[in-house]
Amino acid sequence: MSCMNLPNFVKYMKRDPTGRGCTHLGKDGVLRTLSGDNEVLDARGLNSEEIKQILDTMPPPMSRMVQKEDFRGVDGTKVTSEEALFHPAPGILPTKPSEEESAERRELVKQSQEAYLQAKREQKLSWSSNSQDDLL
């Protein structure tokens, strides 16, 4: 599970400058970035491969909250109107989390970031020791 497996476009999506926002994959197959006030900042309809890729890269605590079956046959590229992308039908966006839920989500993100950085450090150490072995 790695952020490196996310589609490249994800890192270019607009984000909440306060850091209170989140990224959400709606059941309509649209990946949206949301502000801390639950307003859609950016949106992109995903094809089935991209949806699978997003679902597969979710950290375990978050992936347990998602029913992958809900996305079977979904094609977010068919969602094209500004209204549907930025003001989706009720039930598509998550409800605004309570302060407690927000704190829990921030902790999950922090844990995921720490795990990612640890994996990168281990990978770097592995490369370093392999390079030294090659020199001997």
At 44 the pLDDT is 96
- DSSP structure class, residue 78: G
For residue 56, what are the CA distances in angstroms to 59, 110, 130? Answer: 8, 19, 29
How is the chain split into domains, by residue range?
A: 1-96, 97-136
Please state, in angstroms and rounded to a whole number, the distance separating the CA atoms of residues 45 and 55. Answer: 14
What are the phi and psi torsion angles at 70 (to 5°)?
A: -60, -20
Query: Around Cβ 136, how many Cβ atoms within 10 Å?
Result: 4
> For residue 105, what pLDDT is reported?
77
The DSSP secondary structure of 6-33, one letter per residue, reads S-GGGGGS---TTS--EEEE-TTSEEEE
Predicted confidence at residue 88, as pLDDT, reads 95
Rounded to whole angstroms, how far apart are CA atoms 66 and 68? 6
Q: What is the pLDDT along the chain (136 residues), one digit of tens a residue?
A: 344 467 788 888 999 998 888 889 999 999 999 998 889 999 999 999 999 988 888 777 666 677 788 899 999 999 999 999 999 999 898 887 788 887 887 788 788 788 878 888 888 777 766 655 555 5
| Tokens read off for 59 | 């950290």
Give pLDDT, residue 3: 44
Residue type, 74: V
By the 8 A CB rule, do 55 and 71 touch?
Answer: yes
The pLDDT value recorded for residue 4 is 44
